[in-house]
A and B are shown apart, each in its own frame.
Chain A
Amino acid sequence: EVQLVESGGGLVKPGGSLRLSCAASGFTFNRYDFSWVRQAPGKGLEWVSSIDTRGAYIYYADSVRGRFTMSRDNARDSLYLEMNSLRVEDTATYYCTRGTWFDPWGQGTLVTVSS
């Protein structure tokens, strides 16, 4: 079964840092690009970042560029999102998703930025 499982969310103060992980299984991980997409409570979807198969090309939304770093470890079938200088407006459920067509999605991990 193709599966993506996010972890690492939690409560953090403004200005703090957090590292999200996404563990993949059920398919050949190194053949796919991946993305992070977030959803603030009660709001719509927002694309955050994408990475190519080798981690050579990484793209970011303007809202997170310079603060977030996406990476991958093909030996561990895992994705990461390092989030620094977190802001209240970064509060959201963060999903990892596979490929050009964002399919499938993980169950999401909630990040809450609050003092």
Chain B
Amino acid sequence: QSALTQPPSVSGSPGQSVTISCTGTSSDIGSYKRVSWYQQSPGTAPKLMIYEVTNRPSGVPDRFSGSKSGITASLTISGLQAEDEADYYCSSFTTSNTYVFGSGTRVTVL
């Protein structure tokens, strides 16, 4: 199972919006709503930010939102803040009853 495809990096100024894409196949993102997103700051464990494509866990700011169309999922950060600078990973369940992660995207706040 190959990793889902994410851009290596995205950047934006404080207050701007950035969108991270996550492209899979018909065997993963295209088949399920079991898509999630994780934030990882240096030296720390990943943190769930979005689950089931669009849902935010309690405590995650509403400037984080998710969507999906076909085999591509997206994470949008609206009103970018300095504390949002981190690595972001998507994940999807697959038709093989396994999971696959994205290659990861570094978000830089200019």
Is A44 within 8 A of B45, CB to CB?
Answer: no
A57 to B96, CA, bound (A): 13
Is A105 within 8 A of B45, CB to CB?
Answer: yes
Do A45 and B34 contact each other (CB < 8 Å), given the known contacts A59-B97, A101-B51, A105-B45? Answer: no
Is B45 within 8 A of A102, CB to CB?
Answer: no
Closest to B102 in A: A44
Looking at chain A's contact residues, the main secondary structure is loop
Closest to B6 in A: A44
Is A61 within 8 A of B45, CB to CB?
Answer: no
The answer to whether A47 has its CB under 8 Å from any CB of chain B is yes
A46 to B3, CA, bound (A): 8
Do A102 and B1 contact each other (CB < 8 Å), given the known contacts A44-B104, A50-B99? Answer: no
Interface size class of B (residues with CB under 8 A): 20 to 34
Number of residue pairs across A and B with beta carbons under 8 Å? 59
A91-107 at interface with B (beta carbon < 8 Å): 95, 100-107
The answer to whether B48 has its CB under 8 Å from any CB of chain A is yes
What residues of chain A lie closer than 8 Å to B45, measured between beta carbons? 95, 104-108
B81-108 at interface with A (beta carbon < 8 Å): 89, 91, 93, 96-104
Closest to A63 in B: B1
B12-44 at interface with A (beta carbon < 8 Å): 34, 36, 38, 40
What residues of chain A lie closer than 8 Å to B40, measured between beta carbons? 45
Is B1 within 8 A of A61, CB to CB?
Answer: yes
What residues of chain B lie closer than 8 Å to A106, measured between beta carbons? 45
Additional A-B contacts beyond A45-B89, A103-B57 (18; CB < 8 A): A44-B104, A45-B38, A45-B46, A45-B104, A46-B101, A47-B91, A47-B101, A57-B97, A60-B98, A61-B98, A95-B46, A101-B48, A101-B52, A102-B36, A102-B46, A102-B91, A105-B46, A107-B45
